[in-house]
Copies of this chain bind each other. A is one copy, B any other.
Amino acid sequence: MLKYAMIGGGPGAFVGGVHRRALALNGQARLVAGCFSRDLEKSRVLGRELELDGDRVYATPEELARLEAGDVDFAVVVTSNEAHYPNVKACLLSGINVMCDKPFTHTSAQAEELVRLARERRLVLAVTYTYAGYPMVRQMREMIARGDVGEVRFVNCEYPQGWLAEPVETSGNVQASWRTDPERSGGVLSLGDVGTHVEYLVPHVTGLTLTRLAARLDSLVEGRTLDDNGVILTEYDTGARGVYWYSQAATGTVNGLRLRVFGDRGGLEWFQEDPDHLRYTPINEPARIITRGTPELLPGAMAYSHTPAGHPEGWLLAFANIYKSFCDTIATGAAMDFPTGEDGLRGVRFMEACLQSSRQGTAWIDIP
């Protein structure tokens, strides 16, 4: 069994628990060390709760990285966004593989540096774009790759949420507060939080490469200076086109990531709130509902499907699947089939291009 350390994820930090549960589910890795909080005492309390050896709870990420190098197989970085860069860097410099929460870093320069460090040291560096872990997202990717929709012509990907439809950041919501603080969020709000999931998912699933975009970022809620909504026109290397919409001010929506792909031989639709199903319509034929766990699943999807058809999996298992692939690579050298640092870098560049386009009146920006 692999051994890992966690940086961040202290008491009250929701996402840390998610990473730990996802890893526990898989049974491939055991938590052995941590620096869960800036407050060492809090860290220790959680360490005891998690039955860690007392010596292996650290005051700083740097200390953890230094002393655990060689003793852990990887570190999980789940601090708030602004601390991703220094923490990941500390781990990489100590020769520790890293799984980093998304969005990756504030600037593409930071991301480039981390990617370079990982490459130089032959370390595994991954980013938790969770939705790629869903079996039906893998199914979609494989179906497109083998030509089930023909040549992709148009992609519509949207990700509306509604939980920032009120100015909750002014009334004590912790999650909202740091996200709407430009310093801590990197100059973007919802683009980093939900927009980057869209950015990652589309090329991952379709195989397309984004070449140009034109964006308008919106601040829909009065008094908010960062974006809580945005629309992005896209163009890809093959000539295919698309539109992205993301929002956290879409009142009444919950977590509505939806990906629709239209090719010359068929169309595909997947909705995150009903993740076990995929709607596939071969051109001029009835729509088909493909269900996770059935013989329709292609090998790459089936390998990540765990419970029988009709016994819903869900978000936590998707999360676990990202880790499954990550751990397989570390443990056995299996090919990397998870979002990498390069993907994280691409996501940061995307955000920078969107900001630039929006500031220039929805100008078209080329993606290098």
Residues of A within 8 A of B (CB): 1, 14, 18, 20-21, 24-25, 27, 50-51, 149, 153-154, 156, 158, 161-162, 165-166, 214, 216, 218, 220-221, 229, 231, 233, 241, 243, 245, 247, 249-256, 260, 262-269, 272-276, 279-291, 294-296, 306-317, 361-362, 364
Q: Is B262's CB under 8 angstroms from A249's CB?
A: yes
Given contacts A162-B267, A289-B286, is CB(A313)–CB(B315) below 8 Å?
Answer: yes
Given contacts A251-B283, A264-B165, is CB(A312)–CB(B310) below 8 Å?
Answer: no
A278 to chain B, nearest CB (A): 9
User: How many copies of this chain does the complex contain?
Assistant: 4
Given contacts A21-B25, A281-B252, A286-B288, is CB(A220)–CB(B153) below 8 Å?
Answer: yes
Taken together as a complex, chains A and B put the C-alpha atoms of A269 and B256 apart, in Å, by 13
A107 to chain B, nearest CB (A): 27
Q: Is A284's CB under 8 angstroms from B295's CB?
A: yes
A31 to chain B, nearest CB (A): 10
Given contacts A247-B154, A283-B165, A307-B315, is CB(A252)–CB(B266) below 8 Å?
Answer: yes
| Residue ID in chain B nearest A308 by CB atoms | B255
Q: Is A154's CB under 8 angstroms from B250's CB?
A: yes
List B contacts of A214 (CB < 8 A). 214, 216, 362
List B contacts of A231 (CB < 8 A). 233, 243
Taken together as a complex, chains A and B put the C-alpha atoms of A310 and B156 apart, in Å, by 20
| Residue ID in chain B nearest A295 by CB atoms | B284
Among A156, A281, A364, max chain B CB count under 10 A is at A281
Taken together as a complex, chains A and B put the C-alpha atoms of A282 and B289 apart, in Å, by 12
**Can you give 6 A-B contacts (C-beta < 8 A)?**
A25-B25, A153-B251, A161-B310, A220-B262, A252-B267, A311-B316
Q: Is B216's CB under 8 angstroms from A233's CB?
A: yes
In order of increasing CB-CB distance, the 3 nearest A-B pairs are A255-B310, A252-B267, A252-B281
Pick the contact of A316: B284, B294, B313 (CB < 8 A): B313
Taken together as a complex, chains A and B put the C-alpha atoms of A249 and B361 apart, in Å, by 29
Pick the contact of A251: B229, B266, B272, B307 (CB < 8 A): B266
